[in-house]
Amino acid sequence: MHRIQFIRSIITLLLILEISGCASTTLNNRRSPAWNEDDRNHIPKPEGNSEDQIWDIIDHYFFYEIGKALDIGWTMRKIGYELGIVGKKEAVNLNSVDDTPNSSWFTHRHGTKRLTTDELIRGPDMTDGPEASGAITIIKGKFEGGSLGFIIIDSRGDKYVLKFDGPGWYEMASAAEVITTKFFYAAGYNVPENHIFYFHASQLIIGPKVMVPTPDGRKRKMTREDLAEMLNSQPKRKDGKIRSVASKWLSGVSVGPFHFHGRRKDDPNDRVEHDDRRELRGLRVLSSWLGDTDRRMANTLDMYVTDENDKSYIKHYLIDMGSTLGSNWGRPHPPKYGNEYALDLVNISKAFLMAGYYEDPWDYTDSMHYESIGWFESEVFDPEKWVAVYPNPASENMTYRDAYWGSKIVMAFTDEDIEAIVKTGNLSDPIAERYLIETLIKRRNKIVSYWFSKVNPLDEFHVENSGSDGYIFRFTDMALRAGVVEPDGNKYTVRVTNLRDNTVSKIKLADDNSFLLPSTRKSNGTLPDFEIEIRTQRGTQDLFSKAVGINIVYREKRKEYEVISIRRES
């Protein structure tokens, strides 16, 4: 016993030294929370990152994992986490209210200020897709990646990538690409315009420099026969048109993909390790909801852009959403996707040691109901255990606070919002469309129920002036709003510290989310600032939750209180 205590003491000391070296203070005097990250300063054009998909996979399966084990800081924190001494390292790009500011990576949208239905349907689109009435010129073939297609220029001069559904899986990939793009945009991520686009084969003109690969590894000019062969597997509508996804070429200059760990060495604005960014950690929650199993370096893109103030910098995009929902572009993704890595050594070991008696829970799940949806279900889906196809450093580093952040965004999409966005996929089978809507609703509910249980999900703190009665502090119990806890029997204990005279008031609330701030009387012309701590108790539970701490300050000029910091125990 003494040896164990000694070991724990040594590990704790090392963790304190490790954590103190990277700790930062989020509360700075009485300043308002920062809502914009200073990462859009003018920089020279970078040379660009190279993309090596094979190396990226090998790196994250082996070398990145080995590197973590050799990192003494990571190892000590991992041991401390397993012993219950310390939690995971929290994200570092946070403001004082435990949120991520707007940046070249992320812009607060539907999770903060609700978009209208029309805005959700339009998403990132600045056009209605390629000009459908004129000629479409192919300038290059697309023969790499999960789908074949073309790079085209329409009669307006706009550039797009045309991609097609896999043979036998009509509508699946194209619908997934458009639907998921709009969800990610509404959530706050940078994404390209993706449109369902119908065209006649006769509209296509082959440019003079378009080449196709030959069996012997060389290239030759594309012919009409090549084009006809490529389009032959695509079904035609009654009007003779072919369905595709038209992805608009991003503005700016491509400087390669971004990684989910480390930083760009050629970007002075990139000052935060990518696996320590909340928007990339919390992306795991959005990805689990949408079945985004292929979210890795190959499906990202950094663009060197110039804004309206003539400042040029790098903007970070998520691209290629065709491997989402039930789709793996040319075919449905296998049932194991989302449940284990493509090469999952843990499950392989289980199967080997149990000599064939080990059975995965998804082995007997029949969820291939519709060819236009693919394998996408809500019964086996587990928000905690969900993983992408390949290890993702940012996802691995996700903490409960990061997951709560992502879950609040998922929760923001109502049943009606989900239906409106799914309809942009133009699925021809209304029954399949309804199945997809209901599956997304069920997955959303599972996500919110699980991750909200891991923190004290109180939010939307604000203070109202009630006139002669004084100031009322209000909050929202997000679990109640989401309907994932019973509406009755919720109790809250509140500790209020007046920071002027350090007097403490204790308040108990039962099924109520507001209380009168004590001693809100002016002294020397101002009202006192407060530090508030709230814990929650559910139904017949004996224990109260971990605390949420809130600091509020009185702004004399505006005659109102402002929330300047939120601290969540997790």
Report the alpha-carbon distance of residue 111 to residue 116 in Å, rounded. 12
pLDDT given for residue 84 in this prediction: 63
pLDDT given for residue 365 in this prediction: 58
Q: What is the pLDDT of residues 404-446, one digit of tens each?
A: 999 999 999 999 999 999 999 999 999 999 999 999 999 999 9
The pair of structure tokens assigned to 378 is 């809500």
Report the percentage of the chain scoring pLDDT > 70.
82
> What is the SS3 assignment for 405?
helix
* Residue 342 burial class via C-beta count within 10 angstroms: exposed 0-12, middle 13-18, buried 19 and up: middle
CA distances from 451 to 408, 448, 495, 543, 547 (A): 9, 6, 25, 19, 16
Contact between 152 and 160 under an 8 Å Cβ cutoff? The reply is yes
Average pLDDT of span 500-521: 89
Report the alpha-carbon distance of residue 261 to residue 242 in Å, rounded. 40
* pLDDT over threshold 50, residue 17: no
Q: Find out if CATH 2.60.40.2220 is the number for domain 458-568.
A: no
pLDDT given for residue 133 in this prediction: 87
Question: Residue 324: which pLDDT band, with cuts at 50, 70 and 90?
Answer: very high
| Span of 86-90, 272-276, 360-364 with lowest mean pLDDT | 360-364
Contact between 280 and 297 under an 8 Å Cβ cutoff? The reply is no
* pLDDT over threshold 50, residue 25: no
Q: What is the pLDDT of residues 223-265, one digit of tens each?
A: 999 898 888 888 899 999 999 999 999 999 999 999 998 999 9
Highest mean pLDDT out of 41-55, 263-277, 386-400, 464-478: 263-277
pLDDT given for residue 229 in this prediction: 87
Question: Residue 142: which pLDDT band, with cuts at 50, 70 and 90?
Answer: confident
Average pLDDT of span 337-354: 65
DSSP string, 420-431: HHHGGG--S-HH
Q: What is the pLDDT of residues 155-179, one digit of tens each?
A: 999 999 999 998 889 999 999 999 9
247 phi, psi to nearest 5 deg: -100, 115
Highest mean pLDDT out of 8-17, 117-126, 323-332, 365-374: 117-126
CATH 2.60.40.10 segments of the chain? 458-568
Question: Residue 1: which pLDDT band, with cuts at 50, 70 and 90?
Answer: very low
pLDDT given for residue 214 in this prediction: 85
The neighbouring-strand residues paired with 523 are 526
